[in-house]
Structures are given as C-alpha cells and as structure tokens.
A and B are shown apart, each in its own frame.
Chain A
C-alpha cells in the first residue's frame, strides 16, 4: 500500500511540474484558456484533481488546495484568508483521543500507533494553521495594506483583518485545557502533545494576536487621521469655492490669542564681520579668496554676450573750468573794448579773480592759442619771460600782455 501511495504521489508531483506553465497561468489569470492547450492534458489534470470545472459553462479553474499551496509557497499577498476552523479540529482531536485510548486499552498497539500519528498530524496542523493566520496578518500589517490603493479600501481591509483577529481569538477560547488534560490522563504521549505542545503554542499565538490587534488599531487610527486630513483639505477647498469672499475671523484681535496664532517675530539679524579680530583673520582671508575665485570663474564661464549698441547723444560734460574760461573771454573783450595793451596780471588784480595766478596765465595763453586763425590776427601777445635760475634754456613766463592790433 505504501509503494502505491508513493507512486501515485510521485505521479501527481510530476504532473504538476510537467504542466507547471498551465497551472501558473491558471493561478495568475484565474482560469485556463482551453483553446491553447490540448484536451488530453486538461483531462489528465482534471482527473488528477488539480483543476476543476465549477459548472458546465465555466472555464477550468485551479482547485482550492493547489491555489492555497501556491499562495503559501509564494507568500502571495492575495492570500488573505485566515482559516480559523479550530472548533471542528478540536472535536476531531477529542474523537481521535478516544479512538487511541480504546485501542490502547484493548492492546491493539498497531492501531493505536496509527491513531496517535493521525493525532500528531492534526495537532501540528492546527498549530500551523493558527500560526499561518498570524503570519498573514503580520505581512499585511507590514505592507500597511499597500496592495489596495485608496484609503477607504485600506480601512476596509484593516477592518477585515480585525474581524479575523477576533475570530481567531474566539477560536482560541474554545481550547479547554482542563478537558484536554482529563482526556490525556496519565498517558505520556498524549500529555506531551495535548498539554505541552498545544499549550505553549497557544500562549504564543495568543500573545502575537494581541500585538497584531494593537498594531491594527494603531494603523486604523492613522488611516482615519489621514482620511480626516484629506477631508479637511477637500472641505476647505469646497468651502472656498462656495464662499469665495470667505476669510477667517481675526483671532489675533481676541483678548486671548490662541497659542496657534501667537508666533513671535524674528528678531535675530545676521551678525556682522569684525575685521579687527585677529582670531577671524584666517577665515576672513579664505572668504576673500573665495570671492576672487568666484569672479574669476564668472569671467570664464560667461562669455561676453553681444549687446546692442545704443547710439545716443553724449551727455554734455560740464567742466569746472567754465568759469575761468568766461573770465578769459571777458579779459579779451575788455582789450577789444579799450583798445589798450593790458597785462593779464593787472586784469587779474583789477577784477579780484580768485584762481591761482599760474592757472590764470596758462588759461589766458591757452585762450589765445585756441582762437581761430582769423581772430588770432586781431591780437598781439607778448610774454614777459625770465630765465630759470638753475636750468639754462628754460624760461618762466611771469606775465602776459595782450593788445588789439
């Protein structure tokens, strides 16, 4: 019989691996496109109990066991089912315990062994499914229900998870260890299985579940907070749309200003540099160095841009000499008016001019030389010269006389 089971099992697993593509297609798509595969293969899969047809018109789908096997193996987040059917499992445990005790009492040890191994399998299976339930809950919490997009969906998923936790906790309540202890009696194997293993795992799962519950409630609180904020924003936007002239009341004019709106003005301005502080010398020198570097870079990175040349009248340059020029002109005019020979220095003293005498003489000579040739012919000039006391050949002009010719 064992060889038979082994053979059948191997055959099943081979079929799974041979048709893995079809099975994965069915897992991902939900159903099998029958046109793409040969009917023989599909019949074979159906007879092996891997796929089934829910009703005559529908497509072939994966059997639940295969699907949950894959979900488990792939730790797929689509697996959100928590199997919490502890009640029936417990009833089965107690039945098997009764079978085992009866067989033992009648000394049918082979039968008793078989019952015990069934019982062991069932107990471990029960523990595994409880732990699996806790695991899937945790994985959903860690992803913060990221597999659904909207906040509302997250809240619904959270509520589903919470109801599953409640279910699991209710199921855990069905464990009556005193009854199990009575059932186990003084049998060592039974005590180990039902009391030690089951109880230690029970307390582990119960502890985990309370943590899960706390996290779920915390997450729900956060989702609700998010939802509240979103609604606040949207609500504010709507409110402004409906009442465009709306402005909040001026809370700062109340006698007690809400703390939220009591913000002190900034009073700190950036400090200034003390260039006389010797301790800062180094840093300041570095800063200055950087300034240069920046200028340097700027010149290189920014080529001269062509700039439009605006042709406009040059601004009239007003010279300080205007006054002195006018004085020179007046001097010339006086010579013309009087027709007499007049020394520049005499005119200077007579009119109490305020310029430096040297500047005055220079300007008079300049004024004479600057006249157009035709005008120049009307004047005669004579410079009273004196030799330089040290450097021969150099003359010093002491005075200028002009007359009208």
Chain B
C-alpha cells in the first residue's frame, strides 16, 4: 500500500493542487510543519519545492532553481494560465449570476448542476453567455444545447481540478482551492500592473445604479 506521504508526492509530482476539498487527509498532513519538511526533502531531490498559495489553502510543487528548461516550462504554463483566465472569469461570473446568491464561488461552494441548468435555460441572457463561454478553446464544446454545453464545461473544469464531484451519481460539484488560487492570480496581476480592477467595477456599478 502507498503511504500518505507517497500519495502526496505522487499528486504533487503529477502537477496537482492539494486543498482541503480535493484531498482533505493530504492537506491536513501537509499542514503539519514536520510532515511538510519531509515531503519538502523528497521534492528537493527532483529540483522541486513545496509551495502554497491562497493564504495557505492550496499546496503545489514548484521549481527550486530555475534553469533554461524550467523557464521554458513556466513560460508555456503562464501562457496557458493567462489564456484560460478570460473563460474562467466569465464562467465564475456566470455561476455567480445564475445562483443569485450574490456571493462568489469560493473553495467549498457547492454547485447543483440541475438548478444551475434550469436557471440558465430560463434566462436568455445567461444561456447566450454560456453558449459563448462553452466555445472557448478551454472548454471546446460543439453542443447547441444548454445541457450539452454545461456538461462539457463542467467536465473540463473537473479535469482541470477546479471542481470535484464527490458523489458520482449526483450532479453536485464542489469548488476546490484552485478557484481561490485563480482569484489570487487575478489579484496579483491587478496589484502588479495597477489595473485597479476593483475601482473599475465600483465606478461601473455606480454608473449602472445612476442609470
């Protein structure tokens, strides 16, 4: 049998994010500084180190030192991240608007696919939005129906590790810590490039309320 530590190593070296939603046991194991240092030592052999993001809510493996090859990998990954950013953000906004709860999707938020689907089908603006989102290369759906588009989008998001489906028989998905990571990426870009996204949103909302 594989040990907890082995499981964690395998997961980290496969490029997965570990959070309390997708691998609760492993997450708690890594929260112990002693255990973390054991994993760290093993990762170091492979020029990797244990990193956390989103205020310690996710763990992942990063490079210890960066050579030519590592930089190439990171560059490729970064390009992927940034191209995926727009579809992901649009999807997050869509889910938030469809659930009507006004609170954003965060780690641990459940999404009931059936409820989401009926809301989206009832509101033409939302179905248009979904149709647009589902054709992005990230999701790559060719379906014409809301049902098919939603299923494809959710399938891809589960593959990418943004969602987990705890019970295979139920259409309930739970957001993982990778969603929190996503917010941090946007916040980082916002801070570094001084885009003042929050102010833009606020002024737009005020204009909206004035109209």
Contact = CB atoms under 8 A, between A and B. Distances in A.
Nearest to A238: B200
Contact of B204 (A234, A261, A263, A268): A234
B81 interface: yes
A236 B10 contact: no
B68 interface: no
A294 interface: no
Contacts of A226: 103-104, 106
A240 B186 CA distance: 12
Given A149-B100, A232-B187, A266 B198 contact: no
A139 interface: no
B41 interface: no
A252 B13 contact: no
9 contacts: A229-B106, A232-B190, A236-B190, A240-B86, A248-B193, A253-B75, A261-B185, A264-B47, A265-B77
Interface of B: 10, 13-16, 46-48, 51, 53, 60-63, 66, 70-71, 73-75, 77-78, 81-82, 85-86, 89-90, 92-93, 96, 100-104, 106, 181, 183-190, 192-193, 195-202, 204-205
B102 A233 contact: no
A272 interface: no
A257 interface: yes
Given A233-B92, A233-B93, A234-B201, A268 B10 contact: yes
Given A150-B102, A230-B96, A235-B201, A263 B74 contact: yes
B14 A266 contact: yes
Interface residues of A, number: 36
A237 interface: yes
A3 B140 CA distance: 83
Contacts of A240: 86, 89
B62 A263 contact: yes
Contacts of B192: 249, 251
Contacts of A40: none
Interface in A266-297: 266-268
A228 B198 contact: yes
Nearest to A259: B51
A236 B185 CA distance: 11
